[in-house]
A and B are shown apart, each in its own frame.
Chain A
Amino acid sequence: MAHAPEPDLASGDPGDERPRWDNKAQYLLSCIGFAVGLGNIWRFPYLCQTYGGGAFLIPYVIALIFEGIPLFHVELAIGQRLRKGSIGVWTAVSPYLSGLGLGCVMLSSLVSLYYNTILAWVLWYFLNSFQHPLPWSSCPPDLNRTGFVEECQGSSAVSYFWYRQTLNITADINDSGSIQWRLLICLAACWAVVYMCVIRGVETTGKAIYFTASFPYLVLTIFLIRGLTLPGATKGLSYLFTPNMQILQNPRVWLDAATQIFFSLSLAFGGHIAFASYNSPRNDCRKDAVVIALVNSMTSLYASIAVFSILGFKATNSYERCLDRNILSLINEFDFPEQSISRDDYPAVLVHLTATQPRRVARLPLKACHLEDFLDKTASGPGLAFIVFTEAVLHMPGAPGWAVLFFGMLFTLGLSSMFGNMEAIITPLLDNGVLPRWVPKEALTGLVCLACFLCATCFTLQSGNYWLEIFDNFAAPLNLLIFAFLEVVGVVYVYGMKRFCDDIAWMTGRRPGPYWRLTWRVVSPLLLLTIFVAYVTLLARKPLSYRAWNPQYELFPSRQEKLYPGWVRAACVLLSLLPVLWVPMAALAQLLTRWKRTWRDRDVRPDTNTR
């Protein structure tokens, strides 16, 4: 009788009303959609390019093998086994760890707030893409219509549209400004869309995910094919992937690779635990973990090829326009016939003219045009999507169509990640019966979405972008690292490695091999600890500053570096600590209730003992 013992914790009563995925594909797509998000498009290509192209893949793959996949397997397995959201799972592992679940829920709420605001920006750009010419293609004329608006003239039409016509940003974080009604209604629409998809939990999410998870891949393929046929694409790709092995000696590369894998897989949010809890108990979560993690990394690579072929085209385009401007200056000054100097002849002609008429040449506003400078002008984060890419799209024939596709892709990418975030909040609340039974699920999800929308309106203020950067830099990273560390340690050392392996053997049919056991026990906790320490040291060394968009700045259009005022710094600290504080507080509360019980028992016992 050599079959694995039945797990003793209730794996589901016969009358279990827990909703389920309609089929395996929904579950896989949901996890992939949650893991694949905006970061795959605008963070990975930037890291790849900054850290020596193809060489970056080495620390990335190592981090994937030793940190990403093991942690991911732990989350899926524990969620599938205990069949509860994050609060229920960690309370079941140990009552002292219940704070971990609470912290995860709070963290997911904070992240949902600003993540959906980014989606509101994407929606705004999407709505504005349905016109020709695109609104960010030219500067608006000023009041007497003799020139363009000064701020736009000084920077660029794309930057002006982003900073002024979208965000209407103030020059300082202290100056909050007013609520931008355009962004507010886009935010309302985004939360309405999220509510529509999450309204009945996995029932509705499972249907919506078919579209939101597959549409980005379709668009990426279209962009890849289009991008590779554009002139200059190969230059962008070779610049991205040319390996620079020297850069591996810089420890910063390894840190960024590890953090990128970690945040890219959306670990420690509680979303994967929630998704896995709706699975049938006997499901091969090991294969799922490996498949989803690999799909996530492949998507990053695929996206970076598409993105960089387009950016290569943009750089080549800018380089050619720079050359053309110089050639035009020469032709106009020396009255040569039109188009008499080709781009290839330009260097020779310039040398000849500098030798024969140096004074006239010196007076001309000639800029040095190097292709590498334009290739270097990439960015990460919103800067890539809303400034660099929008400019690249302008020069592609059929620009509005490409803009619609691009922002539609970003929207669906972010939406599928939002599903994971919302499930991470809603599933624990449902499991713990926060609202009475007779309140329908739709009402709970509606309340959560409404509360998040009201809180997120602060990001639609004119200084909202600065606050969003604060949330992005301080709320998420440190807390996630701590939570992931506690997760792996909690499962391996508190729940028990043997018990966990037995559970996995029961669920998948095979005990986890030595690779899994070693990474869970030693490698992943150590890696997480190292990353955490490195992160904190780097953070401590840098003064807390931000870069403001100030048209009055003398080096405009460069952003002005300003320090955070005192109260903002306090807010940063609060954001970093608030989710984590739940862990010790809940543990303390549990300890106090235990003590109270033992004291109460001790008071009762003397009566029974004295017979």
Chain B
Amino acid sequence: MTDMTDDIRKQKRFQFTRHSPTFRLEFESTAAEMQSRCPVAWSDTYGGHWVAASHEAIFDIARESEVLSNDHDVTNTKKGYHGISIPPAQSQYRGGFLEMDPPEQREYRQTLNTYLSPAAVNRWKPFVEALTRSCLDEVIESGRLDFVDDLANIVPAVLTLAMLGLPLKDWDIYCEPAHASVYTPPESPDFPRVMQGAMLMNQRLGEAVVEIREKPRPGMINALVNAEIVGATPPDHELIGVLTLLIGGGFDTTTALTAHSLEWLSEHPAERARLSAERDTLLDGATEEFLRFYTPAQGDGRTFSADCELAGTQFKEGERLWLSWAMANRDPSVFPNPNEIDFDRHNNRHTSFGLGIHRCIGSNMARMAFKTMLTQVLDRMPDFVTDPTGAAHYETVGVINGMQHLPATFTPGPRLGASFAETLELLQRACDEQRLAEPVTVRTASAKIG
């Protein structure tokens, strides 16, 4: 490659402000403009970084792990890279294996794969069904609920804790900080309180690591404390970063997907009726389409670890790049009518779980939890109507395209089983007695609930 001056390399420029409230509102036109005009551009914002906006460019760049680094050098002892956040996040922890490179990253994933593979996740189905049933029972007689607070926040949280091997009743200790730390910007007056909650959560996780090391119980934490990563036992602060990643990934994203999909279905009752009636053939396609359209995790940052030329652009070592999964998912050259939701869409090779070696490790769990919540809502409150005045979308979607609240009304119905509190106890007993959180290599049988 012939060397170009920076002016020529960075000739294509775009003022990319994904953390601003207007970005969310102008997302479709921004994506279209960047795709037709760039599709890779330099932006001066957030310390200066590249943005990849077309599906082709993102596909070509994201899988080049030889020249991309996810490393977050929090101790500033390596190359000083900043992980996946743009602008850099002020943190004393690396964001788990999402902020690591191979071989470390690969070894962490190998440690956890047997807990999160499709076969491993399937065993939890009866657990999630009972949990979802009890959440809906709490509200079914009243004819009103908040889909976020009463359902979509709870199910992924309790399931994640169960798989980690943490006490289920603690779900609300982790729930608020896990969501609020995503949607509260640093300049918000609420930020110090949210950070305090997050610190408390980390402290709890640290205690759990110590506890499980001394008194093993099945779950991903147990696997992590016994893991050997690049020849050594990982230090506790590294494990806390991994657990924070699993909680962040497990909680907020599935909530975001579920809430947005339910809101769309309320606004499209004919499509909702069709999805419900033909779910055997439509549910998979609809799920992938909601994933594509809403892209809960909007993108990831990377740092170039070597000079390289990709997607027609010359990059220099140390430069940062934002891979916009969200914009890739709206690229008309891969997805005809990209801004429409089409349950029958063909060749839906969306990027919502990322591409390449960092593919979301929880994707199977997310799909299963989402499908369970969705089908039970369709069965038990088929005429639900969401309230647009109460619906609260995250004001900024720089990280997660989430929702804080989604109130709805529906025709009341009868309870079907035990209360949420009783169900939580029942599920805890099932976890303990059946050792549900063992890896699939140890336990292949499905959970038996009640």
A, B co-complexed: no
